[in-house]
Amino acid sequence: MASQRILVLVKPDGVRRHLTGEVLHRIERKGYSLSNISWVQADEERLARHYAELVNRPFYPALVEYMMSGPMVAAIFTGDRVIEGVRSLAGSTDPTTAAPGTIRGDLGRAWSGESTMNIVHASDSPENAEKEIAIWFGEAEG
Ligand code: IDP
Ligand code: MG
């Protein structure tokens, strides 16, 4: 199977809490290769494309506020089955109940407010990975 790519975002809470290195380190230790990295600042237009399937959800305004609350680190990782591998490392969406051993389970929890601050985004399919890489990196090589 051809090597695959994934878009990872260290979300604003991850950057604020000085967890950028920890998140990237866990993915590198698993054996995936970092092929591009950049600071990014979300805006409403890019988030509407990134989270196109969530724009009508009641929590979407809180999600936008969270994602725009500070800079993020965008990274492209590559490797065989990298999407499954990084999603598994990230853990389930709710950080309070995400499995211990995962990024969200070890490093995240609920905080007051409406947004689910869970440190990291990881693409969930090859199609979404390519779409998200185009959003955050333009058409840059990764
Ligand atoms: P994922 O990040 O685990 O793939 P998605 O369902 O794609 O989860 O949701 C994207 C992001 O939206 C989540 O990571 C989380 O920050 C936020 N989110 C998802 N569901 C909820 C919710 O029910 N309330 C508040 N925020 C949510
Ligand atoms: Mg998702």
Instruction: Go through 48-67 and write b for each residue having 16 or more CB atoms within 10 A of its CB, e for each that does not.
Output: eebbeeeeeeeeeeebbebb
Domains along the sequence of the chain with CATH: 3-137 (3.30.70.141)
Q: Is the CB of 68 under 6 A from ligand 1?
A: no
pTM of the model: 0.96
Per-residue pLDDT in tens (0 to 9) along the chain, 142 residues: 568 999 999 999 999 999 999 999 999 999 999 999 999 999 999 999 999 999 999 999 999 999 999 999 999 999 999 999 999 999 999 999 999 999 999 999 999 988 999 999 999 999 999 999 999 999 644 5
- Nearest-atom number in ligand 1 for the CA of 67 is 16
CB atoms within 10 A of CB 3: 12
Q: Which ligand has the minimum distance to the alpha carbon of residue 128?
A: 2
Residue whose Cα lies nearest atom 12 of ligand 1: it is 63
Residues that are catalytic: 121
How many Å apart are CA 50 and CA 89, to the nearest integer? 21
Q: Which ligand has the minimum distance to the alpha carbon of residue 9?
A: 1
